[in-house]
């Protein structure tokens, strides 16, 4: 049995839905630019960070939730008024955060396996 | 195995195998172990790169009420940061009242919600805890949430919350454990029913009607912001306010607070605190001037009667680290070294050091560089500016008037002063009687500035630039040659020209 639950969502509404269905849980969310049919994201940093983040997922705490969220196409993301930027206060992709806490890793910080592991393992 | 266990070898448990942590060349686990992850400790450990192996131990003993917090020390969690944010919340309250005079149609009554404010403040504090954590990791500093104590001059014991022990050896050790608020020792009910600043910044519910006991800047700043957000607040002062600060300025600060609604019980000493069946706290106190006893009820009692250095659990006496008998702080040389080689200390725990974040940070960085052999620069503790964030802020650098008189003689100093009115107060119809500037200079020769004092809005912002001038040895003539920026409060500093000696009215008239 998996220690944590992995959920895949696309767009802001689906993200909020996934969160609201899991109230009270320790939720980690990874935001990435949309992947094309070949599975490649328009965001080069996201392409670089994903294997690093996935490589540390074995350290996710028991009972936690990992939401993989594709935010949208490049044009949507570039708009400063998109819901992720306005409401969730995301400043860039990739972003890895612990929902409901100030813990987050943004862009190049996601390339560092030790920082990702730190977020998954420390309180 | 046992035969090898002798002398200076230290053993670290790894499963069932005992591994020596100091090899035959005498190498240690770490080049530097820092005990305390506050302003000084974090600055020191982050600066200590240059290929050094560094560990920082940070641990917070919960308060009597159970309050605890994350990495970053007093400043980040229960000091400067939340204080300034809540002070800002209170200033907004005053600004809202002023705003009506400036044309804003604000419907009364305007109320303040403690929980909303605290959520914002605590979110920011937590983001700082996380930011520090990321920085330590980034700079390859090992962070351990252990309570550190000294075993010998190269060995530190770390204790987890669960009581698990770890031993670390280090070439150099820096003690940066700071201090915690004191509770009064002879007042029944003080510990059980009162709180300190450690609790105040983490309260989930508003403290309500509050009695603040003490007259330090902590007491006055807290009482100031509580009044500002609309709470019934009383300050109980045993003797004088802001001991150590210029007393004329201290009087202006408290006068302003009294005008703006903070109650003061001067020359009063609490005797006991009892909890009533309603949950309210009944405080009995003595008015030392009349001898009379009084009582009143409060929702909260905040003790702001001083801070004690965190040295008890460190094991310093075992090592012979010299402490100042009176204060309990660690005696330090100018290079932050203690009486024991390889053990250093800085920040609030150091005897004779200012209890300020910027000095701890700077001293920490310089020490790290010296220990790595990168520099010989010592910390300069002179000319340190500071600001008290009471409702009327007070910023200063250099000597108080009384200290200048003591050192140079009353006839050898010249005090330029001015009462001014911030332009913003005019339309708002606000009383500016306590907005004041004082420049204490040598009377003869160059008229070097010995001390600069300013009460008014944004005093910290005003003082920072003047502190640089002070550091450069500014004289009265430098000051008067500087053209003011108009219209500001700060320009009044460069325009001071009335001396106390002249006896003339020091009130500035409009331009």
Percent of chain A with pLDDT over 70: 98
Beta-carbon neighbour count of residue B477 at 10 Å? 13
Count how many domains chain A has.
Answer: 1
Contact: A105, B134; criterion CB under 8 Å: yes
Q: Tell me which residue in A101, A114, A118 faces B126 most closely, judged by beta carbons.
A: A101
Residues of A in contact with B59 (CB under 8 A): none
Contact: B130, A102; criterion CB under 8 Å: yes
Token reading at A91: 């400043």
**Alpha-carbon distance A36 to nearest alpha carbon in chain B (angstroms):** 32
Mean pLDDT, chain A, as a whole number? 93
Q: pTM for the full model?
A: 0.91
**Alpha-carbon distance A40 to nearest alpha carbon in chain B (angstroms):** 29
| Confidence check: pLDDT of B163 > 50 | yes
Q: Which of B356, B363, B342, B350 is nearest to B323 (CA)?
A: B350
Contact: A102, B134; criterion CB under 8 Å: no
Per-residue pLDDT tens digits for A43-94 = 999 999 999 999 999 999 999 999 999 999 999 999 999 999 999 999 999 9
* Arithmetic mean of pLDDT, A4-12: 95
Contact: B134, A115; criterion CB under 8 Å: yes
Question: Reduced to 3 states, what is the DSSP secondary structure of residue B271?
Answer: strand
- The boundaries of the domain holding residue A34 are 5-121
Nearest CA in chain B to A111: B138
Of the residues A16, A46, A69, A110, only one is catalytic, namely: A46
Query: Which residues, 6 or more positions from B414, have their beta carbon under 8 angstroms from its beta carbon?
Result: B440, B441, B442, B443, B447, B476, B499, B500, B501
Segments in chain A forming alpha helices (H):
12-20, 44-56, 74-78, 83-86, 113-121
| Confidence check: pLDDT of B511 > 60 | no
Distance CA A23, CA B138 (A): 32
Q: Tell me which residue in B130, B137, B138 faces A103 most closely, judged by beta carbons.
A: B130
Nearest CA in chain A to B136: A115
Question: Reduced to 3 states, what is the DSSP secondary structure of residue B277?
Answer: coil
The number of angstroms, rounded, from the C-alpha of B65 to the middle of its chain's C-alpha atoms is 22
Task: For residue A14, give Cα distances in angstroms to A100, B125, B212.
Answer: 17, 30, 50
Distance CA B181, CA B198 (A): 7
Percent of chain B with pLDDT over 90: 91
| Confidence check: pLDDT of B2 > 50 | no
**Per-residue confidence band for B108, with pLDDT thresholds at 50, 70 and 90:** confident
Residue ranges of B 373-402 with Cβ closer than 8 A to chain A: none
**Per-residue confidence band for B151, with pLDDT thresholds at 50, 70 and 90:** very high
Name the strands in the sheet holding B293-298, side by side, starting at the edge strand that comes first in the sequence. B268-275, B281-287, B293-298
Parallel, antiparallel, or unpaired: how do β-strands B30-35 and B17-20 relate? unpaired
* CATH code (residue A14): 3.40.30.10
> Please, are residues B451 and B437 in contact by the beta-carbon 8 Å criterion?
no
Mean pLDDT, chain B, as a whole number? 93
Interface test with A, best of B137, B141, B142, B143 (most A CBs within 10 A): B137
Residues of A in contact with B136 (CB under 8 A): none
Look up A43 and say whether it is catalytic.
yes
Higher pLDDT, B364 or B1: B364
Q: Is the peptide bond before B105 cis (omega within 30 degrees of 0)?
A: no
> Please, are residues B253 and B220 in contact by the beta-carbon 8 Å criterion?
yes
Tell the residue number behind the tokens 């500087």, with chain if given.
B482
Q: Tell me which residue in B123, B127, B134 faces A109 most closely, judged by beta carbons.
A: B134
Separate counts of helices (H) and strands (E) for chain A: 5, 5
| Confidence check: pLDDT of B16 > 50 | no
- pLDDT value of residue B234: 98
- pLDDT value of residue A2: 67
Nearest CA in chain A to B140: A114
**Alpha-carbon distance A61 to nearest alpha carbon in chain B (angstroms):** 18
Q: Is the ipTM of this complex over 0.90?
A: no
Per-residue pLDDT tens digits for B316-344 = 999 999 999 999 999 999 999 999 999 99
First to last CA, chain B: 86
CB contact, 8 Å: B127 with chain A? yes
Sign of CA dihedral B479, B484, B490, B496: positive
Each residue of B47-71: b (16+ CB within 10 Å) or e?
bbeeebbbbbbbbbeebeeebebbb
| Confidence check: pLDDT of B483 > 50 | yes
Contact: A115, B137; criterion CB under 8 Å: yes
Of the residues B124, B154, B453, B486, only one is catalytic, namely: B486
Per-residue pLDDT tens digits for B164-206 = 999 999 999 999 999 999 999 999 999 999 999 999 999 999 9
By a Cβ cutoff of 8 Å, what residues of chain A touch chain B? 101-105, 109, 112, 114-115, 118, 122
Token reading at B170: 């280090």
**Alpha-carbon distance B335 to nearest alpha carbon in chain A (angstroms):** 35
**Per-residue confidence band for B12, with pLDDT thresholds at 50, 70 and 90:** very low
**Per-residue confidence band for A122, with pLDDT thresholds at 50, 70 and 90:** confident
- pLDDT value of residue B439: 98
Higher pLDDT, B14 or A54: A54
Residues of A in contact with B124 (CB under 8 A): 102
> Please, are residues B436 and B251 in contact by the beta-carbon 8 Å criterion?
no
> Please, are residues B205 and B81 in contact by the beta-carbon 8 Å criterion?
no
* Arithmetic mean of pLDDT, B26-46: 94
């Amino acid at each position: 049995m998996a220690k944590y639950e992995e959920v895949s969502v696309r767009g802001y509404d689906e993200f909020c839905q996934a969160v609201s269905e899991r109230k009270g849980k320790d939720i980690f969310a990874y935001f990435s630019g949309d992947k094309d049919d070949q599975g490649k994201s328009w965001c080069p940093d996201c392409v670089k960070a994903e294997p690093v983040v996935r490589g540390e997922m074995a350290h996710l705490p028991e009972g936690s939730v990992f939401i993989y969220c594709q935010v949208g196409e490049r044009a949507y993301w570039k708009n400063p008024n998109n819901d992720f930027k306005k409401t969730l206060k995301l400043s860039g992709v990739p972003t890895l955060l612990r929902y409901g806490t100030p813990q987050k890793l943004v862009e190049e910080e996601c390339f560092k396996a030790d920082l990702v592991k730190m977020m998954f393992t420390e309180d | 195995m046992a035969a090898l266990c002798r002398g200076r070898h230290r053993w670290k448990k790894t499963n069932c195998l005992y591994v020596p942590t100091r090899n035959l060349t005498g190498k240690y686990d770490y080049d530097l172990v820092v005990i305390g992850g506050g302003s000084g400790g974090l600055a020191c450990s982050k600066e200590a790169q240059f290929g050094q192996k560094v560990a920082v131990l940070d641990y917070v003993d919960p308060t009597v009420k159970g309050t605890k917090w994350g990495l970053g020390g007093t400043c980040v969690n229960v000091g400067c940061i939340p204080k300034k944010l809540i002070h800002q919340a209170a200033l907004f309250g005053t600004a809202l009242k002023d705003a009506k005079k400036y044309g804003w149609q604000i419907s009364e009554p305007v109320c303040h919600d403690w929980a909303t404010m605290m959520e914002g403040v605590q979110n920011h504090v937590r983001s700082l805890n996380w930011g520090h954590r990321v920085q330590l990791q980034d700079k390859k500093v090992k962070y351990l949430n252990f309570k550190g104590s000294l075993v010998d001059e190269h060995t530190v014991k770390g204790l987890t919350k669960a009581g698990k022990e770890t031993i670390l050896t280090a070439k150099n050790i820096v003690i940066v454990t700071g201090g915690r608020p004191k509770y009064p020792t002879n007042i029944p009910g003080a510990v059980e029913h009162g709180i300190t600043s450690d609790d105040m910044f983490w309260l989930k519910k508003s403290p309500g009607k509050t009695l603040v006991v003490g007259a330090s800047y902590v007491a006055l700043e807290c009482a100031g912001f509580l009044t500002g957000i609309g709470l019934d607040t009383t300050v109980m002062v045993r003797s004088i306010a802001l001991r150590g600060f210029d007393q004329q300025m201290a009087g202006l600060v408290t006068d302003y607070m009294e005008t703006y609604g903070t109650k003061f019980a001067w020359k009063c000493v609490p005797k006991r605190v009892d909890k009533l069946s309603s949950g309210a706290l009944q405080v009995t106190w003595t008015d030392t001037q009349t001898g009379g006893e009084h009582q009143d009820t409060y929702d909260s009692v905040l003790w702001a009667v001083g801070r004690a250095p965190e040295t008890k659990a460190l094991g310093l006496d075992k090592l012979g680290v010299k402490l100042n008998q009176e204060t309990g702080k660690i005696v330090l040389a100018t290079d932050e070294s203690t009486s024991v080689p390889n053990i250093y200390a800085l920040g609030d725990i150091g005897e004779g050091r200012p209890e300020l974040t910027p000095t701890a940070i700077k001293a920490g960085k310089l020490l790290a560089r010296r220990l790595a052999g990168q520099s010989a620069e010592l910390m300069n503790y002179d000319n340190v500016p500071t600001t008290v964030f009471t409702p009327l802020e007070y910023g200063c650098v250099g000597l108080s008037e009384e200290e200048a008189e003591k050192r140079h003689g009353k006839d050898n100093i010249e005090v330029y002063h001015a009462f001014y009115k911030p332009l913003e107060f005019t339309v708002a119809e606000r009383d500016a009687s306590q907005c004041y500037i004082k420049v204490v200079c040598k009377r003869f020769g160059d008229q070097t500035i010995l001390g600069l004092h300013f009460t008014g809005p944004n005093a910290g912002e005003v003082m920072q630039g003047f502190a640089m001038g002070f550091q450069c040895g500014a004289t009265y003539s430098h000051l008067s040659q500087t053209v003011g920026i108009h219209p500001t409060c700060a320009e009044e500093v460069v325009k001071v020209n009335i001396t106390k000696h002249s006896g003339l009215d020091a009130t500035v008239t409009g331009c």
